[in-house]
Structure 1
Amino acid sequence: MKIAVLTERADGEKRVAATPETVKKLVGLGAELAVEAGAGRAASSEDAAYEAAGARVGDRAGVLAGADAVLGVQGPDPASLAGAKPGAWVVAMLNPFGARERVDGYAAAGLEALAMEFMPRITRAQSMDVLSSQSNLAGYKAVLDAAAEYGRAFPMMMTAAGTVSAARVFVMGVGVAGLQAIATARRLGAVVSATDVRSATREQILSLGAKPIFVEGVAGIEGEGAGGYAGETSPEYQRAQAELVSSHIAKQDIVITTALIPGRPAPRLVSDAQLASMRPGSVVVDLAVEQGGNVEGAVAGQVVERHGVRIVGHRNVPSRLAADASALYARNLFNFLSAFWDKEQGRPVLPDGDEIGDAVRLTRGGQVVSARLLQ
């Protein structure tokens, strides 16, 4: 089986879908690896390292020629995959809801598109969960980005000249990114609080040494919600949460928002009026800015200022830690491919009726087959 690893062409994308480590493992399974020249350079993986691991490095056309599978980070343009075999797998984060025309293009080209972000959150798929691995790094980096913009220190400092108060950090949305943001802010010495619409996250917040901020007396979402994500709450809950957040956010120095609902615009968590209540010099980091943003006034790809508050809206935050993000993502892909590897056929096989295969497969036989997209 020939597996092609391409250089990412999306603006600002520095990650790569395979590292020399995972190339060596795939070669060990019996695969032939072809890597586009320069594919890993921005993620600190040079061509020579790929060659030493057993891959052939070449131009895009040569890498794609006769490929049985194409590995990517962001979904490649279907028109750019000429040379791959009919029925070849395209394994990447394909943004199925936001880039439906591209998914249709894979179907028209006779390619089998496998969306890694549709990986079900079940026990046997944990090692393949690209959203968790990338969100973990995004939560960490969000705190560092906040610290870079914040004009004061994070920890309490007692000096001969007086005491510096600890920064107060409020994390909104306690998924993988939010939990890592809490842990990182705590390590830096901040006083941390957090909130979520899922009542089950209260214990997680406490376990990390942060203060849970929850609406009392109005039912939110019990448990984890579908796929580990929060769903939409009632108007009554939204009003109560807005009142609670307004009273709390005015006392905070840094706010980090992480709330997403798959297939829908990000929920609005912080209003312009709430920003105005924060003291000048405060910082808000919106990790959902590319899906519409949790924060009113956030601009994707920019750091803007409103009412003296700096709003950080970096795009593609995991790519800002390209080497580590690539290492984790590449392992996710290897774990996925190796879990379904058929030694007799010398390639991975996704059986019909398998929970993982049925979840990630978007196209097959010239048609869109994903139940989530067809709904």
Structure 2
Amino acid sequence: MIKIAVPKESEIGELRVALVPDTVARCIKLGFEVSVQSGAGLGGHFTDTEYAEAGAQIVSSPKQLWGESDILLKVAPPGEQHGEMEMDWLKSGSKIISFLDPLGNPSKIQELAQRKITAFSMELIPRTSRAQSMDALSSQANIAGYKAALIASASLPRLFPMMTTAAGTIPPAKVLVIGAGVAGLQAIATARRLGAVVEAFDIRPTVKEEVQSVGAKFVEIPIQESTATTGGYAKEVTENTQELIRKVLTEHVKKSNVVITTAQVQGKRAPVIVSEEMVAEMKVGSVIVDIAADRGGNCACTEPGKNICYNGVHVIGPLNLPSSLPVDASQVYAKNLLTLVKYLVKDGVMQLNFDDDIIDGACVTHEGQLRHPKVKEALLHFAKA
């Protein structure tokens, strides 16, 4: 019987958990044995009792949990506990499925390969209709976009919706969302539900209809180069194009009460789209919420993890927004993992068919080898740096 293990996350501030009691029960029905570290779900308000009632074995020792697992399910990449590296506790030949930041920290992926661990990175699940139910980046970005709009509304010293009162009419707030991926679209939809007037920009012109479908006006900029990867993600553009974007967006930023930035490029520092000069032209009391703060930020004034005031403009750089709503973030992430595990394991055996685009795309290490060409490229880049 394959043993699935769910450890308590060791990364500071990480409140999510890889499986919730409901998905534990489903795993057991599928024939897996599930062990959960004591306290693993407390950040997401799931108790040991709930896990035990779902059929999980509660294990107090993290070292024992990691060492006995066949498949380890995590949220954040393996870290460190009490001076020991967590990945050292994995037995050779075991599997780990988690967010691994393979392009941002390829050396950690190389270590997993050296330990002959088969690793699947949730960041690299292909963005295809077949893999949609496993797409954890999207499920977590959806939550981040929602929370960003709430943070903006709570931080702005004025109302989001238009209000007609006996004292006169209060106009709606003007919100600009930069980046119309999953997070951006949810930020737009949430800001619209709160009553704001919203416009949005994305370097991918193909998302115009999606932006309009959630009630925002699309800011069009004539970009002459390719702006999307084959998987549909935004790609890094030249400095000339970035300068053109900043030039056009300056007027839109200046007129906005709120700017929510969500633009990220896989494995790279987030592009700086909102310059200090643009921030300086915003009205006093305006708010910028920079979802890309985890990758350095889209705003030149962003200080990751901090809320600063720059010339009267509040610049907020929240980190790990999905973790701020750990109940729902854990539930949807657990479903992503469950779907992937069911896809990988057939008749009690993990079957790795690398002709399959989902398995080939997400598996970064296997049998001591780095498998993913982008991870190899990132490792080479880091070595030269």
Please give the range of the TM-score, normalised by the shorter of the 2 chains.
over 0.9
| Residue from 348, 361, 372 that aligns with 1:370 | 372
Aligned-residue offset at 1:236: 4.5
Contact 1:338–1:348 (CA<8 Å) still a contact in 2? no
Contact 2:103–2:374 (CA<8 Å) still a contact in 1? no
CA pair 101-6 structure 1, distance change in 2 beyond 3 A: same
Aligned pairs, number = 371
Alpha-carbon displacement from aligned partner over 1:327-369 (angstroms, at most 9, x marks no partner):
01010000001122211xx133222322111111111222322
| Residue from 289, 303, 307 that aligns with 1:285 | 289
Aligned-residue offset at 1:82: 4.8
**Pair 1:141-2:147 in alignment:** yes
Matches within 5 A, 1:260-279: 260-279=264-283
Match of 2:359 in 1: 357
Match of 2:231, SS state, is: helix
Contact 2:176–2:260 (CA<8 Å) still a contact in 1? yes
Q: Name the CA distance, whole Å, in 2 between partners of 1:70 and 1:340.
A: 14
**Pair 1:196-2:202 in alignment:** yes
| Residue from 94, 101, 107 that aligns with 2:100 | 94
Alpha-carbon displacement from aligned partner over 1:141-174 (angstroms, at most 9, x marks no partner):
0001111211111100111112211110000010
Match of 2:126 in 1: 120
Q: Name the CA distance, whole Å, in 1 between partners of 2:317 and 2:302.
A: 6
Q: Name the CA distance, whole Å, in 1 between partners of 2:58 and 2:351.
A: 26
Q: Name the CA distance, whole Å, in 2 between partners of 1:39 and 1:279.
A: 44
- TM-score when scaled to structure 1? 0.95
Between 62-71 and 192-201, the greater mean CA deviation after superposition: 62-71
The residue type equivalent to 1:219 in the other structure is Q
Aligned-residue offset at 1:62: 3.2
| Residue from 159, 177, 181 that aligns with 1:175 | 181
Q: Name the CA distance, whole Å, in 1 between partners of 2:349 and 2:334.
A: 18
* RMSD of equivalent CA atoms: 1.5
Between 242-251 and 348-357, the greater mean CA deviation after superposition: 348-357
Aligned-residue offset at 1:101: 2.3
Matches within 5 A, 1:47-66: 47-59=48-60, 60-66=62-68
Alpha-carbon displacement from aligned partner over 1:206-248 (angstroms, at most 9, x marks no partner):
11111111114x43547x5332211233454333322211111
Q: Name the CA distance, whole Å, in 2 between partners of 1:84 and 1:231.
A: 35
Aligned-residue offset at 1:304: 0.7
Aligned-residue offset at 1:199: 0.8
Q: Name the CA distance, whole Å, in 2 between partners of 1:104 and 1:243.
A: 41
Contact 2:10–2:79 (CA<8 Å) still a contact in 1? no
**Pair 1:219-2:219 in alignment:** no
Contact 1:77–1:102 (CA<8 Å) still a contact in 2? no
| Aligned structure 1 segments of 4 or more residues deviating by more than 4 angstroms | none
Contact 1:20–1:53 (CA<8 Å) still a contact in 2? yes
| Residue from 79, 85, 91 that aligns with 1:77 | 79
Match of 2:329 in 1: 325
Q: Name the CA distance, whole Å, in 1 between partners of 2:218 and 2:313.
A: 24
The residue type equivalent to 1:364 in the other structure is H
| Residue from 154, 163, 174 that aligns with 1:157 | 163
Between 334-343 and 96-105, the greater mean CA deviation after superposition: 96-105
Contact 2:101–2:267 (CA<8 Å) still a contact in 1? no
Match of 2:114 in 1: 108
Gaps of 5+ in 1: none
Match of 1:70, SS state, is: strand
Match of 2:35 in 1: 34
Between 54-63 and 227-236, the greater mean CA deviation after superposition: 227-236
Match of 2:312 in 1: 308
Percent of aligned positions that are identical: 41
Between 182-191 and 91-100, the greater mean CA deviation after superposition: 91-100
Q: Name the CA distance, whole Å, in 2 between partners of 1:215 and 1:207.
A: 19
**Pair 1:14-2:15 in alignment:** yes
| Residue from 239, 252, 258 that aligns with 2:256 | 252
Between 178-187 and 56-65, the greater mean CA deviation after superposition: 56-65
The residue type equivalent to 1:301 in the other structure is G
- TM-score when scaled to structure 2? 0.93
The residue type equivalent to 2:198 in the other structure is V
| Residue from 187, 193, 198 that aligns with 1:187 | 193
Contact 1:67–1:83 (CA<8 Å) still a contact in 2? no
Q: Name the CA distance, whole Å, in 1 between partners of 2:92 and 2:112.
A: 11
The residue type equivalent to 1:214 in the other structure is E
Q: Name the CA distance, whole Å, in 2 between partners of 1:232 and 1:110.
A: 33
Q: Name the CA distance, whole Å, in 1 between partners of 2:45 and 2:90.
A: 27
Gaps of 5+ in 2: 378-385
Between 73-82 and 241-250, the greater mean CA deviation after superposition: 73-82
